[in-house]
Amino acid sequence: MLWKARTPFKHIIYALVLYAISLKKSNYILDIGNSRQAKSRLKKDGVITNDVIDNLGRKQKATFINESNFYKLVFQSRKPQAEKFTDWVTDEVLPAIRQTGRYESEKPTYKLTQKTFKGKNVMTLRDLEYVIGIDRTIIYKVSRTNQRQGYLLEGDELEEFKKRNPSIPQKLAKLLIFDERQSRKLVRSFSFSNSNKAIDEYFYNKAAEEKTMLEILKITHLADDLQSLVIRKAKNTEYYKPLCLIISKMFYDVGLMDEITDNLDINYAPSWNLSARKEEYRRRLIELLG
């Protein structure tokens, strides 16, 4: 990720941050004369434009690039700092990978570990930087646009968070965290490949999914019995539609039906996929417990 080479090539990494804010400034840092031509040679799925808030509080349009495109820009540059970086890649990194299959820097790489707050998984800006591949200062700027995202931990809340999550540096006085919905929204803001998969893996909780599946099956079993009873005993009575509304809401609440209906007859459209969805839940639970 971006921070791995920060110490020997500080100016190169800084150029990436500036590029994400201003193409003109980054081209000055990397000495790339034609910004449009440089941008045209980048992979399109690694370039995206987003709203950010500048230092004066104004909303601006900013272009972001991913790590792969950043390297392409550096390799095009003839700035001394960029050429030094290119020499390091070609003289040290690539030969080491060819000879040993890997390259080890002096600093340990960042390890993404699950963090929890009040029983739910959350992410920090550092985690999102690792997943998305964009400097955390840029992610922070995007999180501040429109509806502010994230929850600021400080004081006793932060100390408790540190106890439950040992990977958090003890010296921090404040920490911004993001729940699953907010984290996914930020990832979608950049839409770089593999980010969504990493988010899925991070927030996946097998134990919680098993519990959810069991609860769904309990509700489904109860609703099944009620549905069968209502169709057999009350179909031609004034109670049929009100009872169907209650039962269909039970199915709707656990995702088995797309709408609440007053008719649960199997020949009625809203009930067509009900059996297939029930079976899908049972199969999924068997896989989880298997």
The reported pLDDT for the residue numbered 157 is 92
Count how many residues are written for the chain.
290
Give the tokens for residue 229.
């009873």
Three-class DSSP labels, the chain: CHHHHCCCCHHHHHHHHHHHHCHHHHHHHHCCCCHHHHHHCCCHHHEEEEEEECCCCCEEEEEEECHHHHHHHHHHCCCHHHHHHHHHHHHHHHHHHHHHCCCCCCCCCCCCCCEEECCEEEEEHHHHHHHHCCCHHHHHHHHCCCCCCCEEEEHHHHHHHHHHCCCCCCCCCEEEEECHHHHHHHHHHHCCCCHHHHHHHHHCCHHHHHHHHHHHHHHHHHHHHHHHHHHHHCCCCCCHHHHHHHHHHHHHHCCCCCCCCCCCCCCCHHHCCHHHHHHHHHHHHHHHHC
* Long-range residue pairs from 66-70, CB within 8 A, at least 24 positions apart, any chain: 66/132, 66/133, 66/134, 66/190, 66/192, 67/1, 67/2, 67/133, 68/43, 69/42, 69/43, 70/2, 70/16, 70/19
Beta carbons within 8 Å of 84's beta carbon, 6+ residues apart = 9
The reported pLDDT for the residue numbered 59 is 79
Q: What is the pLDDT along the chain (290 residues), one digit of tens a residue?
A: 333 333 345 444 444 444 443 444 555 566 666 666 777 777 777 777 777 777 777 777 777 777 777 788 778 777 777 788 888 888 888 888 888 787 776 656 788 888 988 878 899 999 998 888 778 888 888 888 756 789 999 999 999 999 999 989 889 999 999 998 888 888 887 765 556 778 888 887 666 666 667 777 788 788 888 888 888 888 889 988 899 898 888 888 777 777 888 888 777 766 667 777 777 777 776 776 66
The reported pLDDT for the residue numbered 115 is 92
The reported pLDDT for the residue numbered 205 is 67
Q: Which of 36, 43, 41 is nearest to 67 (CA)?
A: 43
Q: Beta 120-124 vs 59-65: how paired, if at all?
A: unpaired
